[in-house]
Structure 1
Amino acid sequence: MTIPFNRFPLLVQIEVLRQLGFQDIFLLSLTSEKMRNLIQFIKLKPKKVQYALSDNGIQVSVGFTGDDRDFHHMANMRHVPQISVKERKQVNLGGVKIQSRCSREKDRLTHCRNVKCRCTKKPPTQIWTHVLEYLEKEDDNVLEFLQTHLESLFANQPPSQLKIESTNSLQSSEIIDNVTDTIFSLDELETAEIKHFLTVRPNQKSVEIHSDLTGRPLKRISKLFKVPGLAIHESGSMTSKYMDNFSGRCLLLFNANLTSSAWITLIEKWKNKTAYHKLHAVVTRIPGNVFQEFDFGELLFESNAFPWDGLRRPRNFMFDPRIPSYRSKSIDCSDWFDIQQNGGEKWASIQIINDKIMFFVWD
């Protein structure tokens, strides 16, 4: 005999919900206000929420640990040009079921209208079990409605991470609140767009750029170089400029094109305390053989670097970039070369590992 879910005692219902995956919890929360309220008893407390925005739609994942790459998929929404009347369903996306109506209080969305959509089941081998499809004409509203809906399910107010995959989603991303970390994954990204983005969101903890940067070169005063964690995947001929202008905590540069002079300048400024006061690490990665394209001996000589003596600092460095795509890890620096800041204060260590030049500052 089948027993309807709503006939179970409240504690049993809550325990059943706790056993579900996050995608199932999200879909159930759309069925009714009663179910949404019931889900609130689970007291979900994610440490972070990631919104991946593309031209096709929105994907939301949640993380519950300190590991920035430990995410659970929760909501997958995709816009489509049309949905047949037969397939359409109305879902309550936003918490309060009010037909075709939006109301605001203190410039914040507090009620959402119903959204016409259809739910498509995905093959079990895929990481997303379902996709919720909605009409393209709803694009301007769905992202705002979705954030409001998710906030109603959480027992806390976690920070948001953005992954932006198109120019259109870059514009719509301004709707998302409490953003602390951003990944740009467009083919091309105008430097003017970065300037606008960081003007709207000046308190970024990290920015990661996978795009080719176009437009006027960024100046030293750019807010981008003040972001604590910065990763640029196509730094190319601008690598030396990025190193010279950076004033944050951790700088990661990939596909770098540079000479030893850029590193000598950086280390000299750090030693003299004229720049890089908050520095934790700088890593540059070049596409070719480092030793063929980089005079490491010259750098060590000019920086007055010498091998570790086994005493002056710990053997292992805790590399903690605080950039979502990169995990913290302990790195053995026993064969690294050490550099002392003028005045006998801090120590730093440098080494070439495979195709990377790595510079760490010890606390």
Structure 2
Amino acid sequence: MVFKLLNYPYLVQKEIITNMDFTSIVLLAKCSTRMDSVVYSLNYNIVELRYILNRKEFTVHVSTDGEKFDAVISFEFVKELLDNEDGFYAMQQILDHMIKLRITRDIEGKCVIQVCKRWRKLIQWKFQEEFQTLFRRVPEFVIHTPLRPILARNSSNCESVTMDGSIVKAEVVEEILSQFPNLKNVRLCWPFVDPVNADSKLLKLDSLVVEQCKTPLLKVLLRGFTGRHLILKNQHLDVLEVEEFINGWTSNETFPNMETIQIFTRRFPFDWEQILDRIQTQPFDSSKRPAFYSINSQKYMDSSSSAFDCSNWVDIERQGDRKLASIKASSKVIRFFVWN
């Protein structure tokens, strides 16, 4: 029995389509011009849209709760398409080009589209635009690259990028970041040993997380970061480096916009008492600040809770504007939160 969805009233169409899985919704939009109009007219329960890029694939994921992401569609870039392979073949017109696609589903039901490598940037640009229109969300990019990534012209207002892969040079990171003019949040997930320039975009981000942060980058960030949230994960951290960034903030010479710094270290033991002996601290005073600090505004949270009990932390006061910051340190993590 043939089920003619377009013959039903719009409200029935809406109910049926919005209860389909997202892969089926994407494929349904490709059936006809009329179906495309119906599919794109609906609102879907999407919290986040994520694009994952690597050397061979461009994959689209969506999340309905902001935590679990489901793969919707994957583009595989191959040297050539062979007509004798299983699957449905289609032609897609992009600008003045007719591009051949091979469409299949994998064992999990995700749509897989194969296309020749030479069309990679064009396909990526076109479908980025389509998914943002369909799901009405600004995407987050996850880039896996040991080399320079093959990035299409960016048609989004992307604010968040995660870069994962092997060790790369600072100039490659800067090149990637420059393709996202509205970028606010970055997570770097590899050892980064190159120094960065004073005008580096890394220093001006709203939120920055660096996994396995090495000493050259660590020193630059603790002196020149001008954003709001900084998380550093480092194998070793010297007491003097911590004291230097605290004194820089206290003297109003560094971190003009800082709200939170979290530094994770595996150095044992970390002699926090050395620092406390040399800086002027205050005990918690409920008349000056609340006991709990919330950092809901931070994009990349590395804690299961967004609220921290700071009632047993020590406080310091900044010169000039007399802002308070609270500090807590252990052998594993140092947290430095500024109160507005």
Shorter chain as denominator, the TM-score bin is 0.7 to 0.9
Distance 1:344 1:84 in 2: 68
2:101 paired residue among 116, 120, 125: 116
Change in Cα spacing, 1:200 to 1:330, as seen in structure 2 (3 Å) is same
Q: Unaligned 5+ residue runs, structure 1? A: 104-111
- 1:184 maps to 163
Contact 1:49 / 1:62 at 8 angstroms: preserved in 2?
yes
Distance 2:272 2:74 in 1: 48
Distance 2:309 2:331 in 1: 14
Q: CA deviation at 1:115?
A: 3.4
- 1:358 maps to 2:335: yes
Contact 2:40 / 2:133 at 8 angstroms: preserved in 1?
yes
Change in Cα spacing, 1:228 to 1:133, as seen in structure 2 (3 Å) is same
Contact 1:351 / 1:358 at 8 angstroms: preserved in 2?
yes
Change in Cα spacing, 1:174 to 1:233, as seen in structure 2 (3 Å) is farther
Q: CA deviation at 1:318?
A: 0.4
1:211 paired residue among 165, 171, 190: 190
2:253 paired residue among 274, 287, 290: 274
Distance 1:357 1:83 in 2: 53
Letter in 1 for 2:100: V
Q: CA deviation at 1:197?
A: 3.0
Change in Cα spacing, 1:326 to 1:37, as seen in structure 2 (3 Å) is farther
Distance 1:44 1:286 in 2: 42
Q: CA deviation at 1:145?
A: 2.1
Distance 1:145 1:77 in 2: 12
Root-mean-square deviation (Å): 2.8
Distance 2:289 2:128 in 1: 46
Contact 1:32 / 1:92 at 8 angstroms: preserved in 2?
no
Contact 1:240 / 1:258 at 8 angstroms: preserved in 2?
no
- 2:322 maps to 345
- 1:79 maps to 2:56: no
**3-state SS of the aligned residue for 1:17?**
helix
- 1:316 maps to 2:292: yes
Change in Cα spacing, 1:306 to 1:197, as seen in structure 2 (3 Å) is same
Distance 1:120 1:362 in 2: 51
Q: CA deviation at 1:231?
A: 0.9
Distance 1:15 1:254 in 2: 47
Distance 2:14 2:100 in 1: 27
- 2:281 maps to 305
Contact 2:71 / 2:110 at 8 angstroms: preserved in 1?
no
TM-score by length of 1: 0.82
**3-state SS of the aligned residue for 1:306?**
coil
Change in Cα spacing, 1:244 to 1:222, as seen in structure 2 (3 Å) is same
TM-score by length of 2: 0.87
**3-state SS of the aligned residue for 1:43?**
coil
% identity of equivalent residues? 20
- 1:223 maps to 201
**3-state SS of the aligned residue for 1:276?**
coil
Q: CA deviation at 1:286?
A: 1.3
Contact 2:293 / 2:309 at 8 angstroms: preserved in 1?
yes
- 1:61 maps to 61
Distance 1:130 1:325 in 2: 31
Of 309-318 and 275-284, the range deviating more from structure 2: 309-318
Q: Unaligned 5+ residue runs, structure 2? A: none
Letter in 1 for 2:328: Q
Q: CA deviation at 1:310?
A: 4.1
Q: CA deviation at 1:118?
A: 2.5
Letter in 1 for 2:212: E
- Relative contact order, CA 8 A, sep 6+: which one is greater? 1
Change in Cα spacing, 1:352 to 1:115, as seen in structure 2 (3 Å) is farther
Contact 2:129 / 2:155 at 8 angstroms: preserved in 1?
no
Contact 2:325 / 2:338 at 8 angstroms: preserved in 1?
yes
- 1:143 maps to 2:155: no
Distance 1:116 1:276 in 2: 50
2:210 paired residue among 222, 232, 253: 232
**3-state SS of the aligned residue for 1:248?**
coil
- 1:89 maps to 88
Per-residue CA distance 1:339-360 (angstroms, 9 max, x = gap): 1222572111111256111111
Letter in 1 for 2:292: N
**3-state SS of the aligned residue for 1:115?**
strand
Contact 1:55 / 1:166 at 8 angstroms: preserved in 2?
yes
Distance 2:193 2:150 in 1: 17
Distance 2:9 2:182 in 1: 45
**3-state SS of the aligned residue for 1:242?**
helix
Q: How many residues align?
A: 337
